[in-house]
Structure 1
Amino acid sequence: MRPIVYAHRGASADLPEHTRAAYVQALLDGADGVECDVHLSRDGHLVLHHDAQLGRTSDGRGPVSARTLAELRRLDWTSWKGVRIPPGHGAPGRQLLTLPELLDLLRGAGRPVGLAVETKHPSPFGHRLEEEVLGLLMREGWDPETGRLDDVTVSLMSFHPDAVRHFLETVPARHVCQLVGTTTRRTVGDSLRVGRTAAAVLHAGMRFVVPPALPVISAGLVDLVGPGLDLVRARPDLVRQWRAEGRVLRVWTVDTARDVDLCRALGVQQLTTNRPADVLRWVRAPSGAPLGVPAGGPAAVTGRSRCASTAVG
C-alpha cells in the first residue's frame, strides 16, 4: 500500500501557501489530504496562516492576532510568491482562507479527502485556539470517534504537548498527532521571541535537548506521530521503534524523490509535502524503481516557482 500524501499548506511549492489557490491546486493534483495551520484573529476567527507574524507572506506587518478578519482580508496574500494565480483558483481578494472556508472547499471536492489541522503556539489566546477548532468542527457535524465530517476525515495536531493533551480530552488518540522535530535557529527565535544572534547562541546549546514532544509519544498518548524529515534522517531507529509500536507516522516535509524512498524504506504511512503532484507520482512508482523529476526540474511542468518555505510545521 502506498503512503497517503498530504499537501503542506496546499500545493505550496507552486502557489502561495495557505491560499485558496494552493488548496484548489492540491485537490486538482490529487492529494489525498491537505494540511493547514491556524491562528485566531483579533475578533476570534480561525485564520489559515503559518507564522505568528504577517510579514513573510503578505504586505502586512505585526501579529496575525492583532488584526480583525476584515483587516486581514484587505492584505495582499499572493504577490510575495511572484507567480500568476491560475484561472478558476479564486480572485485575488478571496485568497485568504478561514478554517470554515477550507472545510467548505474540501466538502465540495466530490471525493474523500483528509484534513490535518495544526494549532500554532505560543498563542496569545492560549487553549481558546483548540476550543475554537473543536467548537467549529462539532457545529459542522464532525464525529470525533470516526474523525469524519461528510467526506472529510479530520485529524488535529500540534508541536505543543499541552495543546495535544487538550485535544485528547475530547478526541480519540487515533485522530491526534504529536508533531516533533529537531530545533532550528528559526524555531528557537520564534518561540523565545529573540533576534537572530541570540537565537543562534541559544540554538547551539539546545540542539541535543530532548524535544518536549517525546514524552507524550513515549507515554503512548497519541497514535499519530509527526516527525520532521531531519529527525527521520538523524534517528531512523526512532522511526522503526514507533512503527514497531503500531504508530502511524506522518512525516514532514517530503519534497524529493530521495526522501520519498527513505520514508518508504522505513515504512512511513503518511507524507506531508509542498509538491503533492510530484510526490504522488513517486509513491505510485513500484518500490525500488528509479525516481526523478521532469527534464528542466520540477518547475518545468508549470513554469511556476518552487520556493515554498519548509519551516517547521
Structure 2
Amino acid sequence: MDTLFFAHRGSSHKYSENTRAAYLQAIDEGADGIECDVHLSMDGQVVCHHDPTVDRTSDASGLVSAFTLEQLKAMDFTGVVPAEVPAEYGTENEQLLSLDELLALIEDRGKPVGLAVEIKHPSPYGYLLEDRVLQVLAGHGFDPQTGRAGSQGQIAVTLMSFEPDALRYLGRTVNTDLLCQLMTEVNPEYIQELLDSGQVGRAGVYSVLYRSVAEGIELINAGGAGIIGSGVAWTRANEQMVRRWLAEGRQARIWTVDRPADAQYLIDLGVGELTSNRPVELRRELEQH
C-alpha cells in the first residue's frame, strides 16, 4: 500500500497522547510517521504537548508556558489512556518529551520515520516558538529545502499549523512544499459564546481554527503551503476543492482517520497520507479487504 500512515500524537489509542510510550509504540509497530504538537515552556524549551494547559493531560493544572521543562517532567502525563507502560518505554516522569528528545528518540530507533510537527497558536511567545523549533531541528541536521534530518537523513520533517501566519513566517526559510495548512470546521458563534463566558484562552484557540479556513485556502492557492491538512469532515464537505488541489500536484495529509470507511474514501480520492490514532491497525484492516 502506497498510503503513508502517521500516528496522531503517537499511537495514542494505546498509550497517552504525546508521550514517550505513544511515540515509541508508533515507531516499533511500524507507523510511517509521527505527528506531534509543540508549545514553548517557560524556560524556552520546545515541548511536545497538545493543549495550552496541562489540565486535561496530567495530574497538575496551569499553562504549559508557565512551567519549566523540569517542572513539566515532574508531572504524570500517563492518565489519558490508563495503560501500564512497559519499562523499556520509560518511567512515569520520563513520558513528557521535548522536541529535541523526540528527535533523539527517533534517531536512536534507526528507522526511517516521518515527523509532522504541529506548531500550536496562539502562543504567548509569538514567533519565538517557530524560531526555537527551527533551532532544535537544525541541531539534528534539518535541511529546510528537503526536510531531511537525522544522521542518515532518515527523518522526513514537515511543519504544520492552523495559523496561516505561522506558515508564512516559516516559508521565509523553509521550502513551502514542507508546510502543511491545517483546516477544520468551526462555528464563529461558538467563539463568541466562549468569549461571552469569559473563556478567552479557548476562544483564542478557536479563533485561529476559524481563520485557518479562509486564509488557509488562500495560502494553499498561492503556493504558500504544499500540503493540505484538513479534517475528514472538512474534506468530505469540500471534496471538489481537495480534488482540484490534488490534481494540481499538492499533497494531502488528512486527520483524524480511525474508521476504515473514511480511510478508503480518502485513498480513493487520491490522499497519500492519513493521520490516525491507530495507524498500523487501520492499515492492516484496509489490506484485509
TM-score by length of 1: 0.83
Query: Runs of at least 4 residues of structure 1 off by over 6 A?
Result: 206-209
CA 1:107 to 1:209, structure 2 compared with 1: closer, same or farther past 3 Å? closer
| d(CA) in 1 for partners of 2:61, 2:161 | 25
Task: Verify the 8 A CA contact 1:29 1:276 in the aligned structure 2.
Answer: no
Give per-residue Cα distances to partners, 1:168-206, cap 9 Å, x unaligned.
00111111111111116898489969557xx89xx9xx9
Tell me which amino acid in the other structure corresponds to 2:122.
Answer: P
Alignment of 1:197-216 (within 5 A): 210-216=213-219
Tell me which amino acid in the other structure corresponds to 1:54.
Answer: V
| d(CA) in 2 for partners of 1:270, 1:105 | 23
Aligned length: 281
CA 1:228 to 1:146, structure 2 compared with 1: closer, same or farther past 3 Å? same
- What displacement does 1:237 show? 1.1
Task: Verify the 8 A CA contact 2:9 2:37 in the aligned structure 1.
Answer: yes
Tell whether 2:241 aligns with 1:231: no
Task: Verify the 8 A CA contact 1:156 1:175 in the aligned structure 2.
Answer: yes
Q: Name the counterpart of 1:176.
A: 179
Q: Name the counterpart of 1:304.
A: none
| Residue 267 of structure 2, aligned match among 233, 253, 264 | 264
Q: Name the counterpart of 1:144.
A: 144
Q: Name the counterpart of 1:124.
A: 124
CA 1:257 to 1:63, structure 2 compared with 1: closer, same or farther past 3 Å? same
| d(CA) in 1 for partners of 2:84, 2:63 | 27
Q: Name the counterpart of 1:278.
A: 281
| d(CA) in 2 for partners of 1:256, 1:195 | 36
Alignment of 1:297-308 (within 5 A): none
Q: Name the counterpart of 1:306.
A: none
CA 1:237 to 1:91, structure 2 compared with 1: closer, same or farther past 3 Å? same
| d(CA) in 2 for partners of 1:154, 1:189 | 36
Give per-residue Cα distances to partners, 1:63-85, cap 9 Å, x unaligned.
10011111111111112422211
Gaps of 5+ in 1: 290-313
Task: Verify the 8 A CA contact 1:189 1:195 in the aligned structure 2.
Answer: no
Give per-residue Cα distances to partners, 1:254-307, cap 9 Å, x unaligned.
00111111111111010001001212213444xxx3xxxxxxxxxxxxxxxxxx
| d(CA) in 1 for partners of 2:192, 2:49 | 18
Q: Name the counterpart of 1:26.
A: 26
CA 1:194 to 1:97, structure 2 compared with 1: closer, same or farther past 3 Å? farther
SS at match of 1:56: coil
Tell me which amino acid in the other structure corresponds to 1:90.
Answer: G
Q: Name the counterpart of 2:68.
A: 68
How many percent identity over aligned positions? 45
Alignment of 1:45-194 (within 5 A): 45-150=45-150, 151-183=154-186, 188=191
SS at match of 2:88: coil
TM-score by length of 2: 0.90
- What displacement does 1:157 show? 1.0
CA 1:21 to 1:212, structure 2 compared with 1: closer, same or farther past 3 Å? same
Structure of higher RCO (CA pairs closer than 8 Å, 6+ residues apart): 1
| d(CA) in 2 for partners of 1:70, 1:186 | 39
Root-mean-square deviation (CA, aligned residues, Å) is 2.7
| d(CA) in 2 for partners of 1:68, 1:194 | 30
Task: Verify the 8 A CA contact 1:122 1:191 in the aligned structure 2.
Answer: no
SS at match of 1:140: coil
CA 1:102 to 1:118, structure 2 compared with 1: closer, same or farther past 3 Å? same
Which one has a larger percent helix, Structure 1 or Structure 2? Answer: 2
